[in-house]
Amino acid sequence: MTEAPERASERSWPLWEVFVRGKRGLSHVHVGSLHAPDATLALRNARDVYTRRQEGVSIWVVRADDVTASSPAEKDSFFDPAADKIYRHPTFYDVPEDVQYL
């Protein structure tokens, strides 16, 4: 049996991103992250770390490795297609002031 380069325990547990629904009617919102060996413990730890004062009614945990994020460096080009389409906003349109419910 070859010796492992490091003890298993000294390997950090994987990182999980935590999302909490504050109450019915609100969406889940990212609140932070934590380490846990598996999804079950990630959920339990998330409850204890992020909802000790009834801050949530539902929790999602997602492996941080599994999150694909847009790159800040490409932010301008990535979001550019939306920049020149101001006609998507209602304020773009000239309408007479005395029309109701418009």
Partner 1 sequence: MVMCMVMCMVMCVVMGVLVRVLVMVGHHGILSTPARAYGTGARPGTPALAAPAPISHTGLMYGNDVIDPNEPLNAAETDAYDAAAAHDDQRDGSDAVGDDFDALIAADQRIEPRDAMPEKYRETLIRQIAQHAHSEIIGMQPEGNWITRAPSLRRKAILIAKVQDEAGHGLYLYSAAETLGIDRQELLERLHDGRQKYSSIFNYPTLTWADCGAIGWLVDGAAIMNQVPLCRCSYGPYARAMIRVCKEESFHQRQGFEILWNLMRGTEAQQAMAQDAADRWWWPALAMFGPPDTGEAAKGGHTEQSMAWGIKRFSNDDLRQKFVDMMVPQAEKLGIVLPDPELRWNEERGHYDFGEIDWDEFWQVLRGDGPCNAERITHRRRAHEEGAWVREAANAYAAKQETRQKQKESAA
**Contacting positions for partner 1 (CB under 8 A):** 7-13, 15, 20, 22-23, 26, 29-38, 41, 44-45, 48-57, 69, 71-72, 75
Complex with partner 1: residue 70 or 100, whichever CB lies closer: 70
* Nearest distance from C-beta of residue 9 to partner 1, angstroms: 4
* Nearest distance from C-beta of residue 87 to partner 1, angstroms: 21
Complex with partner 1: residue 73 or 95, whichever CB lies closer: 73
Distance of CA 33 to CAs 3, 5, 37, 38, 55, Å?
A: 32, 27, 13, 14, 16
Distance CA 53, CA 44 (A): 15
DSSP H or E run through 17: strand 15-21
* Nearest distance from C-beta of residue 85 to partner 1, angstroms: 17
Complex with partner 1: residue 7 or 89, whichever CB lies closer: 7
Distance of CA 58 to CAs 26, 36, 49, 62, 97, Å?
A: 10, 18, 14, 14, 46
Complex with partner 1: residue 48 or 66, whichever CB lies closer: 48
Q: Are strands 58-63 and 15-21 parallel, antiparallel or unpaired?
A: antiparallel
